[in-house]
Amino acid sequence: MTNPTTAVGNNPAIETANGISDEGLVAPRQHLLDLDDLSAGEINDLLDSAEGMLEIAGRDNRKTPALRGKTIITMFFENSTRTRVSFEQAGKILGADVINVTASASSVSKGESLLNTVKTLQAMQIDALVVRHPHSGASYFISNHTDASVVNAGDGTHAHPTQSLLDLFTVRNHIGDMTGKKIAIVGDVLYSRVARSNILAFQKMGAEVTVSCPNTLIPDEWNLGSTLGDETGFGGLKLARNVDEAVDSADVVMALRIQQERQDAGHLPSLREYSDRWGINAQRMALANDGALLMHPGPMNEGVEISSEVAHGAQSVVEEQVRNGVAVRMAVLYTLCAPGKSTRIGNSESTSGDEA
């Protein structure tokens, strides 16, 4: 899926009062809806920006005026801990005003449509909307009805681009160049937006991605034991016959959350069997390369897709993923809402370049 509303144009380097530089950042995009139309270079530029943000986020006094005067709304129509809190923290560290809207506490609960909610928020002169929604494509719809920058914080089974960026950032910090590195993704490939985004993201960085999951949790036309062709959009993706094959010699092992409702829907015989056959535990991690990273996007079902021993063991970077999420989301918000760029009513043609 491409981003139909991407703004293009070059953004000259800007050194702001707080030391955040735009140098190296790519052409300003208005929205971040998916990673599929970002080049590896653009992704690396965002990750480079996140390096600086990580340093800022680690300071004792980490408040910066970088986005002072900007208003960011986080609009979550699904539960979230990591993504919502880290976007709020990211916006606040950058000096923006951050307002949280949840479906249950908004007029959505009185029957207001998504379109009218967006128009209402737009009328309050907002700069960015961070949206999580249970329906795939919701953030695309919203981006067509607002001048604000829209960030997809997870839409249905489709995409979770900032999760993938923080996962790439975490892996890059440990192993550097990902070309030829083996990434094993284990779990619900059919319904997981994290799986889809991460397969695309790691492949873009030159990694070899292998997935392992029950036959009932991959698309019907995919066959375990095969390698996908380019026509699928995931060319080169290996579909392992079993989890040991996927994890064997891996540099990164990523376990995905198994939603309990999949069992109710008949996709899984039982959670115990899932844990036995696909759960990541110490025995399986021993098949991976020495020093392999263990990742999980969270929230974890310990004892189902991941054992407690490895979830909190020496190879686990789960907490690091969460910490990096703040820096990556700072980079995303800054890139989209950088000084000199206004998407407010009356300024719908984004300007770029001069610091405000």
Binding site for ligand CP (CB under 6 A): 80-83, 154, 163, 297-299
Closest to ligand CP by CB, 198 or 342: 198
Nearer to ligand CP, 22 or 88 (CB): 88
CB of 163 to ligand CP, least distance (A): 5
Nearest distance from residue 93's CB to ligand CP, in Å?
18
| Minimum gap (Å) between residue 53 Cβ and ligand CP | 19
**Residue 83 Cβ vs ligand CP, minimum distance, rounded to whole Å:** 3
Sign of the Cα pseudo-torsion (85, 86, 87, 91, in order): positive
Q: Nearer to ligand CP by C-beta: 256 or 292?
A: 256
- When the beta carbons of 91 and 298 are compared against ligand CP, the nearer one is 298
Cβ-based nearer residue to ligand CP, 172 or 193: 193
Check residue 21 and report its DSSP letter: B
Angle at alpha carbon of residue 131, lines to 125 and 134, rounded to 5°? 145
Provide the minimum distance between the beta carbon of 152 and ligand CP in the complex, in angstroms, as a whole number: 11
In angstroms, the first-to-last Cα distance of the chain is 33
Shortest Cβ 296–ligand CP spacing (Å)? 9
CA–CA gap between residue 165 and residue 171 (Å, rounded):
10
| Phi and psi torsions of 6, nearest 5° | -65, 130
In the bound state with ligand CP, the residue whose beta carbon lies nearer, of 83 and 343, is: 83
Least gap, CB of 305 to ligand CP (angstroms): 13
Nearer CB in complex with ligand CP: 64/80: 80
Do 201 and 181 contact (CB within 8 A), yes or no?
no
Q: CA nearest 130: which of 158, 169, 102, 93?
A: 102
Q: Tokens 């036995």 identify what position? A: 276
CA-to-CA separations, 73 to 70, 77, 131, 257, 339, in angstroms, rounded? 10, 13, 8, 27, 18
Helix (H, G, I), strand (E, B) or coil at 350: coil
Running DSSP on this structure, what letter comes out for residue 28? P
- Selection from 334, 294, 330, 335 nearest residue 58 by Cα: 330
